[in-house]
Each structure stands twice: as C-alpha cells, then as structure tokens.
Amino acid sequence: MDFLSDFLTKFVSQLQSPTLGFLIGGAVAAAVSSRLAIPDAIYKFIVFMLLIKVGLKGGIAIRESNITEILLPALFAVLIGILIVFIARHTLAKLPNVKVVDAIATGGLFGAVSGSTLAAGLSVLDAQGMEYEAWSAALYPFMDIPALVTAIVLASVYTSKQKQRAAAEEYRSKQEFYDQEPVASGAYATTEQGGTGDTYGMNQGGSAGGYSSKQRITASGYPHEEQSNRVEIWPIIKDSLQGSALSALLLGLALGLLTRPESVYESFYEPLFRGLLSILMIVMGMEATARINELRKVAQWYAVYAFVAPLLHGFIAFGLGMIAHYATGFSAGGVVILAVIAASSSDISGPPTLRGGIPSANPSAYIGASTAVGTPVAIALGIPLFIGLAQAVMGG
C-alpha cells in the first residue's frame, strides 16, 4: 500500500511539469480555433536543434564510457522495436474494420521513435535531477530502424502472399474453364486426358496445336514469377538513416564522438534546450487536435490502440530495462529513457519512410493514431508514469 501511495504521489507531481502544460496549451489553442500558427520551417529547425543537442551529449558520453555497458540496452532496444510491430500485426490487425497493411504500418510507426518525445523525457529527467547515462539517447536508432524495417518487410510479405493467392485463384479459374471447353468432336477435354492438337493441355504442356500455359506453378500452386518478389532491406535502412530526425541525431553523435564540442554544447545548446522544447510542445499540442478529425475517418479501434499501445510498449521496455539494471547497473533514468522511446511513436522520419515502403497503407490511420492520440499519451501519461515507477521501484 505504501508503494502504491508513493507511486501515485510521484505520478501526480509529474503531471504538473511545464512540458505537459505547454502541450495542453497548444491543444487548447487549436481546439478553440485560435489563429496561432508556427511556421513549419521553425518547427523543423527546433527539432533539428533539439536532436543535435541530444546527439552531442550522447556522443560525448559514449566517448567517455565503456562500450560494453551499451550492448545489453541496445540489444533490448532492437528487440522492442521488432516486437512492437508483431504486437500490432497480431492485435490491431485482428480488430473489425482494420486492414492488415494499415495495422502493420501503425505498428511500424509506434515501434519507431519520436525525437520530440525523447527530448521531452530528457528535459523532465533533468528537471527532476534524475541521473541517467547520457549515451542512453543513442538507443534511438537501435529501436527506430528495426521497427521500420520489420513493418515494411511484414507488409511486403503479406501483400505478396495476397497477390500469389489471387494469381493462383485466377489460374485455377482459367484451368476449370479450359478443362470444360468443348473440342471439335463435341466432347470435353480435361488435363487428366492429356493434350492433343484438339485439346487444351494445361498441365501436360500441350502439343503443337494445343494451349500451353506460360506460367510455371510451384509446389505451393502459386505462379513461379511471383516468387521473385523480394524485399530489399538495405534501401529501407538507408531511407531511415537519411530521415531528417535520425540524421540530426546521428550527426550530433558523430560530432560528440570525434570532436571536442563541450564548450559549444555548454554555452549554446544546453541553455536553449528547454525554451525550444516548450515551443515544440505547443506545436505538437496543436497538431494533435488537428489530427483528431483525420482519425475519425478510420475505425475507432485505432484510437483505442493508440491509447493503450504507448503504455503497453513502455511497460515492456521498462521490464527489459530492469533486467539490464540488475545485470549491468543500467541506471533508473536509463530505464525510463528506454521506456519513453518505446512508448513514443515517430512523428518526423517515420511517416515518409512508411509512405514509401508501404504505399498501400492509409496514412490517415497510422499518422492520425500516432499524432492525435499516441504522442500525447506518451508525453502526458507515459513520461510521468515511468519516472514515478522508477522512483518508487529503484529510488532513482
């Protein structure tokens, strides 16, 4: 009982954070049809600045740390990113009025990482004075890329199988038609009878005057030509790495590792961080309200999923983070960061990657679910929830 009351006290105190206040403020401004507008160029600049800052801090920390400490949390991040996509494939995809490719794309977006949510989590941890490994921000790509790759591969495999089934069904229909096609003598020729010059030999290959199928059928009964549809993994990874958010983070990591940016980091990036983050939260609050109408166009199950998924994913990551905590001394703050990036859903690099990789999926479904519900839940509930849980369990 003491644990529960302690946790609830910490959770409620986190809800009073300025990060959440600015998010709610932006949502309210959009809800009352305010003409407040922040140019998209400014939004992108703010995201770039925040992620460069996070990357610089992570790169500096990696340079000064033991690389073996990162291995287990990085492995868990990869597993979480992949697992989230499979969870969506076997839960959301089973719900009424939800298309499988839309569910897979939604899982990919929720498995990918939101740089702005990560920045918000780091800001709250700093405000709470909760220690964490600075390199923990570098877990971002270890979860982001596997999630996007897995989603695109699963969707490609599914659509390929659908095409194969359709092609096989079409082939069987044609075969039945030709099996019953009358020949000159008035009889019906079948494939079992063998093809002659007056018959249609579908399986026998036919003679000079017969009909010969140009499709090769495999043991599974599918046209052989469909088997050549392969999913290229490297273009997906390359597209993810070239995304604006991940590129900014990786650039910061590289500069932190290979140069000595401590002076510019402390004098420029660190003082600007919280101010820029507050503006970003206003933009995200406005965007969440604007996307609600878009979410209404698709099944209501997306809203249910988008509310439950961030917390479920975060709890899975929190549990794996606890294993890393006991195995390698991973800090309580590091466990929170792992949970926060698992709870987040990509808002910058993920959508264009999925648009290109799964063109048959409905962007209103996965982007609307992420922006209108998933991101506010991850920031407003997820961050305070996991910080309060970590403090109650580990005393961080």
pLDDT at 50 exceeding the cut of 60: yes
Q: Which of 168-182, 189-203, 230-244, 264-278 has the lowest mean pLDDT?
A: 189-203
Structure tokens at 253: 């990591």
pLDDT at 59 exceeding the cut of 80: yes
DSSP classification of residue 207: -
Q: What pLDDT, on a 0 to 100 scale, did the predictor assign at position 161?
A: 82
Pick the CATH number of 15-161+233-394 from 3.30.430.20, 1.20.1530.20, 1.10.260.40, 3.20.20.10: 1.20.1530.20
Structure tokens at 152: 């695109």
Range among 23-32, 193-202, 205-214, 293-302 rated most confident: 23-32
Q: Report the alpha-carbon distance of residue 349 to residue 114 in Å, rounded.
A: 9
DSSP string, 171-228: HHHHHHHHHT-B-TTS-B--GGG---TTS--TTT---TTS----PPB-TTSSBGGGGG
Q: What pLDDT, on a 0 to 100 scale, did the predictor assign at position 211?
A: 40
Q: What ranges do the domains of the chain cover? A: 15-161+233-394
DSSP classification of residue 131: -
pTM, rounded to two decimals: 0.72
213 or 254, which is more confident?
254
Collapsed DSSP state (helix, strand, coil) of residue 90:
helix
Q: Report the alpha-carbon distance of residue 235 to residue 14 in Å, rounded.
A: 41
CB 146 within 8 A of CB 351: no
Q: What pLDDT, on a 0 to 100 scale, did the predictor assign at position 180?
A: 67
Collapsed DSSP state (helix, strand, coil) of residue 84:
helix
Tens digits of per-residue pLDDT, 161-216?
A: 888 877 777 777 777 766 665 555 444 444 444 444 444 444 444 444 444 444 44
DSSP string, 312-365: HHHHHHHHHHHHHHHHH---HHHHHHHHHHHH---SSSHHHHHHHH-TTS-HHH
Structure tokens at 165: 């089934």
Q: What pLDDT, on a 0 to 100 scale, did the predictor assign at position 224?
A: 42
pLDDT at 342 exceeding the cut of 80: yes
184 or 114, which is more confident?
114
